Chain A
Amino acid sequence: MYKYVLTMVLTLLPLLAAEVKEDMQVPYIPYEIKMGKHFDAIQMHCLTCHSFGYIINQGAQSKAFWRGKVKKMVVAFKAPISDEDSAYVTEYLFKHYGNGKEK
């Protein structure tokens, strides 16, 4: 029996070595994001493609900057965000991650 198990283990070893690339698990990090009006629009649209970290690590930016980012998501990346929701998302981003400047 012992011999049998040993043989089995030895036979499996090369197989195991060739299969080291298991499914990897990318951790989820709950970046702290500010709550406020239109947060639901942020949660619905932004999280589909990227983490909140991607937002908060852009630094404090102007309203034009945030409007441009949202437009980029729609025009360049084809995110299905309505004009109304785009305005909400921009408003939220500028209020919580803005630098107070329009441009």
Chain B
Amino acid sequence: MLRRDFFKKSLAVAGAAAVGSSLEAASQPKNGQKVSEVAFPQKRPMITYSDRPPLLESPRNVFSQAITPNDQFFVRWHMPEIPTHVDLKEYRLKVNGEVEKELSFTLDELKNEFEPVEVTAVLQCGGNGRSAYSPIAGGIQWGNGAVGNAKWKGARLRDVLERAGIKKEAAWIGFNGLDNAAYYETPNFVREMHMEELDDHVIVAYEMNGEELPYLNGYPVRLIIPGYYSDSWVKMLSNLTLTTSYQKLFFMDVAYRIPDNDCECETPGEKHGETKPITTMNVKSMIGYPTNDTKVYLNSHVTVRGVAFDQGKGIREVLVSIDKGKTWEQAILDDGKHGRYSFREFRYTFNPSKYGKQSIMTKAINKAGEEQPLAEEIQWNHGGYKYNGIDTVTIEVV
């Protein structure tokens, strides 16, 4: 593309800025944002909030299928300097700190020297849906699409650490990737996990949906922590460091935290002092089809499609309402063959019987009985995290 064309086309993207709302409760997140005409490497055009670092959101129609295609999977980096090339001859995953023997592995060694395991798991930004909060919570005003689901293949983190020999005093695992800040003094995006959180589902993944990971999703290797928000799923993973005590880190101590009270809420005027990490995901469903701009014919056959997920307790049912929440009916769920950490596909068919606006709402309920609340019932937190309101789209019957 000529630079001039590129410039013209990109202007359309710049319109993604959020507009304030004066409501006091949460409402539906932004909806129907346009995808950029400029595609990023290995990606189709996506909703683009920033090019540096890249912040790309999946459009709603992606969520009508259980597996999110790699080229439509959302992207979120924290640091501006992301490697634009990783030479596999040079690449190593290093294991150091409180281990018997410091080791480093090439990608081939990770693939060949450890038992490969697969897990299908949802990757969701803690700030997904943040634009629902009012007053506007700090951070990128994501709509619904900072989430995706993929089949990940890799080596168990435990196996990799055990190869190096975990010393008994090791209590924390630190993760670092190849991305860098613009200033040397800026702290790296390092995350930590307590050894107690390490289970066999946590893997260092080198395959995503049967392919290499796209660069923007962390090629060649990223951490997968099923059931958890994506803040610790470190991309372009380069270091695993075991320590005896918790290291004070900006991205652990300040970012990705919510009020440490029962409602996980606060008010802008009176912030709750104590905070905790966002950790595991709450129950949620999203409609992939139809979308807000869909027109359907009166009495026609409309099949609502979408996905539902939680932290791995398992989805029990998805309910659909076409009368603004007065009555709810069960949607048909898929067979769950991708496992408990995956999106479950659902579908629900109805025949619209009135002309004009028609709303469709979906609510997921998990096996622990936890339900998606109405958007209006969700209380505010300063970071705009963990939004999981009942999803709503409004179509037109013609």
Contact = CB atoms under 8 A, between A and B. Distances in A.
A60 to B, nearest CB: 4
B273 interface: no
Contact of A54 (B39, B42, B49, B185): B49
Contact of B84 (A26, A53, A61, A80): A26
B254 A99 contact: no
Which of A27, A59, A77: most chain B CB closer than 10 A? A59
Contact of A30 (B7, B18, B82, B215): B7
Which of B42, B52, B250: most chain A CB closer than 10 A? B52
B14 A32 contact: yes
Contacts of A54: 49-50, 52-53, 55, 140
Nearest to B15: A32
Given A59-B141, A61-B138, A69-B138, A53 B183 contact: no
Given A56-B17, A59-B131, A78-B185, A27 B51 contact: yes
Interface residues of B, number: 51
Contacts of B86: 21
B327 interface: no
A70 B131 CA distance: 21
B328 interface: no
A29 interface: yes
Contacts of B13: 29, 31, 53
A11 interface: no
A51 B85 contact: no
B16 A53 contact: yes
Interface string B4-32: 00110011011011111000000000000
B80 A50 contact: yes
A50 B52 CA distance: 5
Nearest to B6: A27
Interface in B33-51: 36, 38-42, 48-51
B257 to A, nearest CB: 13
B84 A23 contact: yes
B52 A51 contact: yes
Given A27-B6, A28-B51, A56 B20 contact: no
B10 A29 contact: yes
A100 to B, nearest CB: 9
A53 B48 contact: yes
Given A49-B182, A49-B183, A57-B140, 15 more contacts: A21-B212, A21-B219, A24-B85, A26-B41, A29-B13, A29-B14, A31-B50, A49-B181, A53-B16, A56-B16, A57-B49, A60-B20, A77-B183, A78-B185, A103-B269
10 contacts: A26-B54, A29-B10, A29-B14, A53-B16, A54-B52, A60-B20, A65-B138, A76-B187, A79-B186, A99-B135
Interface of A: 21-32, 48-51, 53-54, 56-61, 65, 68-69, 76-80, 99, 103
Interface of B: 6-7, 10-11, 13-14, 16-20, 36, 38-42, 48-55, 80, 82, 84-86, 88, 131, 135-136, 138-141, 181-183, 185-187, 212, 215, 219, 250, 254, 268-269
5 nearest A-B pairs in the assembled complex, by CB-CB distance: A78-B185, A53-B50, A59-B18, A59-B136, A24-B41
